[in-house]
Amino acid sequence: MFWTVTQSLLNGLGTTIQIFLWTLVLSLPLGLLFAFASRSRWKPLRLLMQLVVWIVRGTPLMLQLIIIFYGPGLWLGHNIWSGGEAGRLTATIVAFSFNYACYFSVIFRGGIESVPAGQREAGQVLGMTRSQIFFRVTLLQMVKRVVPPMSNEIITLVKDTSLARIIAAYELTFAGYSFMKSDGITWPLFYTGVFYLLFVGILTLLFNYIERRLDYFR
Amino acid sequence: MAILEVKNIGKHFGSTRVLEDVSFSLEEGSALAIIGSSGSGKTTLLRCLNFLETPDSGSISVRGRLLFDASAEAAEREKNLRRKRLHFGMVFQSFNLFPQYTALENVTLAERLLAGEQPDFKQRRKEILDEIDRHGRELLAQMGLSERTEHYPHQLSGGQQQRVAIARALALKPDILCFDEPTSALDPELTGEVLKVIRSLADQRTTMIIVTHEMAFARDVADQIIFMDEGVIVEQGAPGDVIDNPKEERTRQFLTRYTQSSRL
């Protein structure tokens, strides 16, 4: 039984890791883009960003996931997500990426604004372009400042992947839960918890490493 | 002919007048010190010269070339702004060194970025970068920081950081080097080393504008003094005139207040 459970959980973990990694890969740049948009000199764009962030942060991710997965099928008459597990996964990743990009954008904006104006001015008087100033001067200082709040969000993301169960994506929590339903045993639930703990444990070590790597400057 | 010609500069922040009708000129190889109490507009004037603020009126010319004209169209003013900035170097009160770069990297960063825009950069990459590196080390040596090239800003004292900032400003060989209260953020025992460096630059006939509260230093180093109050130039001339024999009542009052407070 132990091996059956382990195999199922590893299977679920595979899906969880896919959701996690794809969401990160997509939401980090998207979040940076949103952060720029929310600092735009063009007011309509700023207001639009505020509205989007308000809606996305103000409603449950689970609700967003349900709407994104079932909505197109009901409105258009045909499902835009390909059938089966792949479609569920894609819908999950789209919903998660957009949701997390909004949270990240607020953290990034705070990080950018916490870099003193004098840094940008020093770049300007040295004849640097706006993008040179961002990539050569601001970015790394911003990254250093956002590592602690980002580690919080990213750890939350690991556990939020369990929400994908609502559209029947076979992820880690779904896998553990299914044994309770079919066999009436509870220990797989705790075993599932251990998987999450290990996952988050590894991430914590990684964040500590990044923080130490950025410790060389203040 | 004067290297710098500033004519009728005016600047408002909202309804507050910060500068009005500021005009002066500067000869190549001479040092100008701007004195005055806090809020008199000295710093804003320097920031206008470095295009960190846009004046509402007036014009700025360097070597007879018009760099800024408030009456021109915005697009015209923005054109080549980056290049125009390079006529001026700026040393900030709070240093503003880039914390993630070593002293040497701080000095060479801008020069490396500009070199990357040269058409022949790809072929001569190594040669050009070596030359920039050598130039950076030379500047730091000139600042007495040969032993500190690989240090990060937080590992340096305030005086050392400010000297790195001076080397950084010199790296692009500006026509005019501006100092915005370069010693105001320093502990008193560290001001000496920075003033010494500025003095040696003056001895080498570097064209400079120094906004400062160090009156004795200004009299000593500057060829020309401007006293500002409430956004206007009240008095300008040789240090012997402005500081020792001020004509204007406001200058006298400022200097009296200054000598009293420095005696305390």
The mean pLDDT of B236-262, rounded to a whole number, is: 86
Q: For residue B54, is it within any domain?
A: yes
SS3 for B228? strand
Q: For residue B217, is it within any domain?
A: yes
Give the separation between CA B217 and CA A46, rounded to whole angstroms.
49
Q: For residue B82, is it within any domain?
A: yes
Nearest residue of chain B to residue A143 (CA atoms): B100
Q: In DSSP terms, which residues pair with B61 in a beta bridge?
A: B5, B66
The mean pLDDT of B55-72, rounded to a whole number, is: 90
Per-run averaged pLDDT (10 residues), chain A, 218 residues: 89 92 96 95 94 96 93 83 84 95 96 95 94 94 94 95 88 89 89 94 96 92
Give the separation between CA A112 and CA B9, rounded to whole angstroms.
33
Residues of chain A whose C-beta is under 8 A from some C-beta in B? 116, 118-119, 121-129, 132, 136-137, 140-141, 144, 216-218
Task: Please list every residue in chain B whose beta carbon sits closer than 8 Å to the beta carbon of residue A217.
Answer: 99-100, 152-154
Given a contact cutoff of 8 angstroms between Cβ atoms, the answer to whether B216 and B186 are in contact is no
pLDDT at residue B79 tops 60: yes
Q: For residue B19, is it within any domain?
A: yes
- Across the interface, whether the CB atoms of A137 and B96 are under 8 A apart is answered no
Given a contact cutoff of 8 angstroms between Cβ atoms, the answer to whether A97 and A30 are in contact is yes
Give the separation between CA A3 and CA B246, rounded to whole angstroms.
94
pLDDT score recorded for residue A83: 73
* Total domains, chain B: 1
Give the pLDDT band of residue B117 (cuts 50, 70, 90): confident
pLDDT at residue B264 tops 70: no
Which of A142, A34, A9, A37 is CA-nearest to residue A98? A34
The CATH number given to whatever domain includes residue B229 is 3.40.50.300
- Across the interface, whether the CB atoms of B99 and A218 are under 8 A apart is answered yes
pLDDT score recorded for residue A67: 93
DSSP3 helix / strand / coil % (chain A, rounded to 5): 85, 0, 15
Task: Please list every residue in chain B whose beta carbon sits closer than 8 Å to the beta carbon of residue A126.
Answer: 85, 109-110, 168, 172
Give the separation between CA A186 and CA A176, rounded to whole angstroms.
9
* Total domains, chain A: 1
Give the pLDDT band of residue B150 (cuts 50, 70, 90): very high
Q: Nearest-CA distance from B182 to chain A in Å? A: 14
User: What one-character-per-residue DSSP string does A45-86 give?
Assistant: HHHHHHHHHHHHHHS-HHHHHHHHHHHHHHHHSS-SSPSHHH
Q: Tokens in use for A66?
A: 């349900």
Give the separation between CA A116 and CA B106, rounded to whole angstroms.
17
Q: Nearest-CA distance from B169 to chain A in Å? A: 7
Q: For residue B122, is it within any domain?
A: no
Q: Nearest-CA distance from A140 to chain B in Å? A: 8
Taking only the tens place, the pLDDT of each residue in B175-193 is 999 999 999 988 888 899 9
Given a contact cutoff of 8 angstroms between Cβ atoms, the answer to whether B197 and B166 are in contact is yes
pLDDT score recorded for residue B45: 94
Which of A117, A133, A128 is CA-nearest to residue B85? A128
- Across the interface, whether the CB atoms of A119 and B96 are under 8 A apart is answered yes
Give the separation between CA B114 and CA B118, rounded to whole angstroms.
7
Q: Between A205 and B71, whose confidence is greater? A: A205
Q: For residue B117, is it within any domain?
A: no
Q: For residue B106, is it within any domain?
A: no
Given a contact cutoff of 8 angstroms between Cβ atoms, the answer to whether A111 and A58 are in contact is no
Q: For residue B125, is it within any domain?
A: no
Taking only the tens place, the pLDDT of each residue in B126-135 is 889 999 999 9
Which of A83, A187, A103 is CA-nearest to residue A146? A103
Give the separation between CA A130 and CA B78, rounded to whole angstroms.
13
pLDDT score recorded for residue B263: 57
Residue B186 falls in which region: left (phi positive, over 0), alpha (psi -120 to 50) or beta: beta
The CATH number given to whatever domain includes residue A44 is 1.10.3720.10
Show the domain range for A90: 2-216
pLDDT at residue B237 tops 80: yes
Q: Are strands B232-237 and B224-229 parallel, antiparallel or unpaired?
A: antiparallel
- Across the interface, whether the CB atoms of A124 and B99 are under 8 A apart is answered no
User: What one-character-per-residue DSSP string does A31-43 give?
Assistant: HHHHHHHHT-SSH
pLDDT score recorded for residue B80: 82
pLDDT score recorded for residue A218: 86
pLDDT at residue B70 tops 90: no
Q: In DSSP terms, which residues pair with A128 in a beta bridge?
A: none
Give the separation between CA A55 and CA A47, rounded to whole angstroms.
12
- Across the interface, whether the CB atoms of A122 and B88 are under 8 A apart is answered no
**Residue position matching structure tokens 């960063």:** B109
Give the pLDDT band of residue B245 (cuts 50, 70, 90): confident
The mean pLDDT of B184-212, rounded to a whole number, is: 92
- Across the interface, whether the CB atoms of B52 and A121 are under 8 A apart is answered yes
Give the pLDDT band of residue B83 (cuts 50, 70, 90): confident
Show the domain range for B88: 4-96+175-263
